Structure 1
Amino acid sequence: MSEHRNLAPHPMTVDEMVARESLRHLVAAYGHAIDRRDWSLLRTLYHPDATDDHTPYYCGPVDGYIAWLPTMMANWRATIHTAVSALIVIEGDHAQGEIAARAWHLTLDGSRQFVAWGRYADHYERRDSVWRFAKRSFILDHAEDLPAQTGNDFGSAGVATGCAGEDDPVHVWLPWFSRPL
């Protein structure tokens, strides 16, 4: 194998720490935008000429990906896209990241849950001082198709129940998350 100097621990500059935190925020915002079905927020996370590769479902320009998502996401009552870990290499205004992720999906009738375990192979670019996705590709490592427990609260009467879209309780409790762009 080649030398791994880009991945090895090293002293970080303040600029590199700021870049890493910006990229982690970008990745977290992606999960939020997908799960809340906030397509306008999602569009801001990519550069205009970016691409997204979710082969075999979609591969191409980001505008096509975002146009395809509402139809695909309409199959799921709820989803949770979580970044488990992030390994990022930064070189100037370009960066690459391997983001380990878990994507949980609940069927519309609540009877099944599909869990995709995988990784995003990301290319980021900083333009006009802002980091965005230049290319995002998904690698599936493992998938689970499981029965779901019945009920929404699992014995916790009164607990707020999440849902896709603007009716999710986060928009009431965290109104800054719903501000127009």
Structure 2
Amino acid sequence: MPDDAALDALIAKEALRDLATRYARAIDRRDQDLLRSVYHDDAIDDHGVVFCDSAALFIAQQPEIMAPFAITAHYLCNQSYRIDGDKADGELYFIAYHRTDAPGSSHSIVSGRYLDNYEKREGNWKITHRRLVWDSFITLPAAPEDMAQLAALGVMGSAADDRSYDALPLMRRGQ
């Protein structure tokens, strides 16, 4: 039988994993309320030269930052967490796909790591400081025949009008 400390660590790690997936969903669905739920009010987001300021400003600028992209998909890979009471650190590997529309459609794939500091306040884990390490970047033209094949497959992903809102009623915007 696990001791209380081991159980608390397991619960905290699961809460941090949930936080990570909510961030990815919020970015890809352009859901500012959900994005706000992953940061403490005084948090800092450091995306390097792309953005480095308060998380509140990062959230407010999302419509402008994401405007060039028809679709994005953020994938989380390896996740390592260390917990010390109500503070935690995490290193999360990511791959992020970005597609722009015609004219000049392109696919951009970036990878790197989120270096996160977290705090549990009022019973909720949230990010206090996020720093990015960029490991790779590649851009390729989006061939018209590839886009036609993608459209032929059926429903494609999108942002605020994504099919997931109809298919997953328990995962409404902001939640």
Same fold flag (TM > 0.5): yes
1:90 maps to what in 2?
83
Pairwise CA distance, 1:58: 1.2
Contact 2:150 2:156 in 1 (8 A): no
Unaligned runs of 5+ residues in structure 1 are 1-11
3-state SS of paired residue (1:41): helix
* CA shift in 2, pair 1:155/1:145, >3 Å: closer
Q: In the alignment, does 2:80 pair up with 1:59?
A: no
User: Runs ≥4 in structure 1, deviation > 6 angstroms?
Assistant: none
Residue number among 126, 129, 132 corresponding to 1:132 in the alignment: 126
1:160 maps to what in 2?
155
1:175 maps to what in 2?
169
Question: What is the CA RMSD across the aligned residues, in angstroms?
Answer: 1.8
Pairwise CA distance, 1:57: 1.8
Pairwise CA distance, 1:154: 2.6
* CA shift in 2, pair 1:174/1:47, >3 Å: same
3-state SS of paired residue (1:178): coil
Unaligned runs of 5+ residues in structure 2 are none
Q: Which has the higher helix share?
A: 2
Q: How many residues align?
A: 169
3-state SS of paired residue (2:140): strand
Percent of paired sites with the same residue = 37
Pairwise CA distance, 1:148: 2.3
Q: Deviations over 1:117-175 (max 9, x none)?
A: 1000000100111100011111100101112243546367462211112x110011012
Contact 1:152 1:161 in 2 (8 A): no
3-state SS of paired residue (2:171): helix
Pairwise CA distance, 1:179: 5.3
* CA shift in 2, pair 1:47/1:139, >3 Å: same
3-state SS of paired residue (1:25): helix
Greater RCO, 1 or 2 (C-alpha within 8 Å, sep 6+) = 2
Pairwise CA distance, 1:67: 1.3
